[in-house]
């Protein structure tokens, strides 16, 4: 729903003041917290916070007076006035209470302004997404902005522990976290402070779900219904077929993510004690648990230990928690949504049959999983166990083989040193990384659906079938064309990256297998490495940054952004066959 204003000149200046206040708040926070010794005196910090508060709070009554529908404005902003009142009362109480440090009131005050900043950022993203002719460009821009902001935060002195950091390494780390890849040129647990690790964790979470989805969820959480344009834009971003269920689907994404990651963290909490590789207190255990749970579910593969999870190869409980998180994150939110509500419908039917068995003939047919969900789950489990069998043939034990088979499909954790495995095992890992996860998930690669469609198309040709058939359904020709397009584009990008890396790393003692493995890992947003990532040249790291960016957004998203204005032809040429041999 869009609010109309009487005087858009006043609205323009209110927007300009909000942008200025947001910039002042951001700069104040960075100068006060980013260095070991604050670069701003106390009075300057207080003055900046007062200015920002006046703008953030004062704009509301001005906008209320300027709006055509005051009832609509209050309904869409009902939460902001109570929020401002609560935080200002708490801050004033802390600041005036003699027995409580004034810093506590300052923290409460700052939290309120931060929440307001996030609210405005999310609303801006939703407005840009819905107003843009091509939402793909907004999605692309949101990832670029997120990478740059993350790099800026990681470059602050309080974000790292080492003596100095390279700008290229910082940008590489921010891009790897935002694109949920997991390739690292720095030791995350050793080189970054808790602040830096938290920034990386936020980048993983926001990169996994997307900034635009955060904006849509906030709008729904505050009681706003998405407009038709917003729903259509979100449908394009989420790859959903219908816009009617976008609000329910967006809410499900956030709820499922929160529940799954929290359960994963709780399960991991007591398991760190069983390993000699971990030594830390209660707070560090919780941080470790949430960090690895979020990293696993978002298929990021970032680990706080320097050797990923190799040091925990005797603590199988950790692996047994990490693997389901990776699989659930790689299935895709559409599949989770479909399976959850299909299961819920069957449970409801069974309970109703027990309570009222005489209504059995009055019930509708139970909800069934879609062809997409069936195909994703089938291909996922085939790849997991086929990969496990192949890795066992090339020397890995059963536990290591199944873990690496799961994690190679874009998660990036490793339980063995990749550089020490056989060439045959590396080839299997490359195939798994190239295929990746499923559409609509946090995973990369060409996706399981693309792989299945291409294989089925080959089988249909061998069987002399005119249509590509799956589970008793025929696929439209355009779907086969999309799958072929994705495969060809990924192959072109992969070969280009490999050739460029051979040029930039010609003076390094890297084998062709190492370079090829690294390129596939970056393109598939996996994060597994044979150990050459930190030793890459600056040019090589920049190439991988663009490769991870391409792999995270996907071939079709970038293709849509480039070819959006191309309209389909309204005519067809005569049909004539050519010889294929």
DSSP state of 365: P
Name the pTM for this structure.
Answer: 0.88
Closest CA to 169 of 501, 511, 527, 535: 535
What confidence score (pLDDT) does residue 410 get? 81
Cβ–Cβ under 8 Å, residues 278 and 309: no
Calculate the CA 28 to chain-centre distance: 28
Q: What is the residue whose two structure tokens read 């590396």? A: 426
d(CA 52, CA 57): 8
Q: In b/e form, how buried is each residue of 443-482, taking b as 16+ CB within 10 angstroms?
A: bbbbbbbbbbbbebbeebeeeeeeebebeeeebeeeebeb
What confidence score (pLDDT) does residue 520 get? 95
What does pLDDT average to over the chain?
83
What confidence score (pLDDT) does residue 293 get? 94
Over residues 288-307, mean pLDDT = 89
Phi, psi of 468, deg, nearest 5: -85, 120
Phi, psi of 475, deg, nearest 5: -90, 140
Higher pLDDT, 183 or 65: 183
Residue 43 in this model has a pLDDT that exceeds 50: yes
Q: Which residues contact 156 (CB under 8 A, 6 or more apart)?
A: 30, 34, 35, 195
Indicate the pLDDT class of residue 243, thresholds 50, 70 and 90. very low
Structure tokens at 75: 């309904």
DSSP state of 224: P
85-94 residue pLDDT tens: 777 676 666 5
- SS3 letters for 203-216? HHHHHHHCHHHHHH
Residue 357 in this model has a pLDDT that exceeds 60: yes
Least confident of 357-371, 441-455, 488-502: 357-371
Helical segments of 356-463, H only: 371-393, 398-407, 423-435, 448-462
């Amino acid at each position: 729903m869009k609010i109309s204003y009487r005087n858009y000149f006043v609205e323009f200046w209110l927007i300009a003041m909000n942008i200025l206040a947001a910039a002042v708040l951001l700069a104040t926070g960075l100068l006060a917290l980013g260095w070991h010794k604050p670069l701003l005196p106390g009075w300057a910090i207080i003055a900046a916070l007062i200015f920002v508060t006046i703008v953030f709070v004062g704009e509301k009554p001005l906008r209320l007076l300027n709006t055509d529908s005051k009832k609509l404005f209050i309904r869409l902003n009902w939460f902001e006035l109570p929020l401002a009142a609560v935080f200002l009362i708490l801050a004033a109480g802390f600041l005036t209470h003699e027995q409580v440090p004034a810093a506590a009131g300052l923290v409460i005050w700052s939290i309120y302004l931060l929440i307001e900043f996030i609210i405005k950022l999310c609303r801006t993203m939703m407005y840009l997404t819905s107003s843009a002719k091509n939402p793909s460009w907004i999605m692309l821009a949101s990832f670029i902005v997120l990478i740059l902001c993350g790099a800026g935060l990681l470059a602050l002195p309080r974000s790292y522990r080492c003596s100095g950091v390279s700008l290229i390494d910082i940008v590489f780390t921010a891009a790897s976290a935002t694109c949920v890849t997991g390739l690292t040129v720095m030791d995350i647990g050793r080189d970054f402070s808790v602040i830096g690790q938290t920034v990386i964790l936020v980048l993983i979470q926001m990169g996994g779900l997307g900034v635009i989805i955060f904006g849509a969820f906030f709008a729904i959480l505050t009681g706003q219904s998405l407009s038709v344009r917003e729903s259509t834009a979100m449908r394009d971003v989420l790859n959903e077929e219908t816009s009617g269920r976008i609000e329910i689907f967006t809410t499900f994404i956030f709820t499922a993510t929160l529940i799954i990651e929290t359960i994963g963290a709780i399960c991991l909490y007591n398991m760190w004690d069983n390993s000699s590789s971990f030594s830390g207190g209660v707070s560090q255990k919780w941080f470790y648990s949430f960090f690895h749970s979020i990293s696993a579910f978002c298929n990021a593969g970032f680990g706080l230990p320097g050797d990923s999870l190799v040091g925990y190869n005797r603590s199988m409980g950790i692996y047994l928690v990490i693997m389901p998180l990776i699989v659930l994150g790689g299935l895709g939110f559409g599949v989770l949504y479909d399976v959850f509500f299909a299961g819920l419908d069957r449970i409801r039917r069974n309970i109703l049959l027990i309570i009222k068995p005489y209504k059995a003939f009055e019930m509708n047919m139970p909800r069934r999983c879609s062809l997409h969900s069936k195909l994703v789950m089938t291909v996922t489990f085939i790849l997991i166990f086929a990969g496990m069998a192949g890795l066992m043939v090339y020397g890995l034990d059963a536990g290591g083989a199944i873990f690496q088979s799961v994690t190679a499909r874009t998660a990036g954790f490793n339980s063995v040193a990749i550089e020490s495995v056989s060439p045959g095992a590396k080839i299997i890992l490359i195939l798994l990384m190239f295929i990746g996860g499923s559409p609509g998930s946090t995973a990369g690669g060409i996706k399981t659906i693309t792989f299945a469609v291409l294989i089925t198309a080959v089988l249909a040709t061998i069987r002399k079938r005119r249509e590509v058939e799956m589970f008793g359904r025929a696929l439209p020709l355009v779907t086969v064309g999309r799958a072929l397009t994705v495969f060809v584009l990924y192959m072109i990008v992969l070969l280009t990256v490999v050739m460029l890396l051979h040029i930039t790393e010609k003076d390094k003692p890297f084998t062709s297998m190492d370079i090829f493995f690294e390129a596939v890992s970056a393109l598939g947003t996996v994060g597994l490495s044979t150990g050459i990532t930190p030793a890459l040249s600056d040019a090589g790291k920049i190439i991988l940054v663009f490769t991870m960016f391409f792999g995270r957004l996907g071939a079709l998203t970038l293709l849509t952004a480039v070819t959006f204005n191309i309209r389909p032809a309204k005519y067809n040429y005569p049909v004539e066959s050519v010889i294929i041999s």
